[in-house]
Amino acid sequence: MKRAIVVGGGGAKGAYAVGAVKHLKRELGINFDIVVGTSTGALMAPLIVADEVEQLEEFYTTLTGPDIIKENSDADVLGGSFYSTKPLHNLLKRVITNELAEKIVASPTQCVVSAVNLNNANLVYFHTGEPPEYRMDDHVEFRKVEGRNRLIFGVLASASIPIMMT
């Protein structure tokens, strides 16, 4: 039987999930076969797979709003969104190095990040390893993560709120 953990959204509430994961892994010695994340959970899933729980703990205790998103100017708002995820993108590029991405891709623990394709409303799973053998329906897409860029793209897609953030 496989053991999975699914981490949902909730912004700063992700700090609770970090504490829970730390307890499960460090105190109880529980390891996971699959780690799934959405929104805030998508930010966490790759680092859980890479066993970088301390890095997550640091994020939730030291980062503030401007470290993750910045308010757009009036002109940018007219062009599409209230906030920019550029700070988050830069943070992810610093944290998810090529070496870390390779570690995540090579890990026996599968990493899955979910997002929505706004062009067709399909659910999209960015995943390491093999996709599930079953297909739930025609409105689900699987995108294999084989490197850093696709991983960062998937995390940003999951963590962004349409119209609010670009």
CA atoms of 47 and 136, how far apart (whole Å):
27
CA atoms within 13 A on the CB side of 164: 5
| Integer Cα distance of 105 and 45 in angstroms | 12
- Predicted pLDDT of residue 159: 85
Query: What does each C-alpha distance from 82 to 71, 74, 85, 88 come to in angstroms?
Result: 6, 8, 10, 15
Three-class secondary structure of residue 95 per DSSP = helix
Alpha carbon distance 65, 18 (integer Å): 18
The rounded radius of gyration (Å) of the Cα atoms in the chain is: 16
Domain ranges of the chain: 4-159
Architecture of domain 4-159: 3-Layer(aba) Sandwich (3.40)
**Section 132-151 average pLDDT:** 86
Quote the pLDDT of residue 11: 74
Q: Which of 105, 109, 103, 113 is nearest to 44 (CA)?
A: 113
What are the pLDDT digits (tens) for 43-59?
999 999 999 988 888 88
Residue 165 pLDDT exceeds 50: no
Which tokens in the block code for residue 127?
A: 């995943």
Q: Which residue type occupies 164?
A: M
Give per-residue pLDDT as tens, 87-118.
778 888 998 999 999 999 999 999 999 999 98
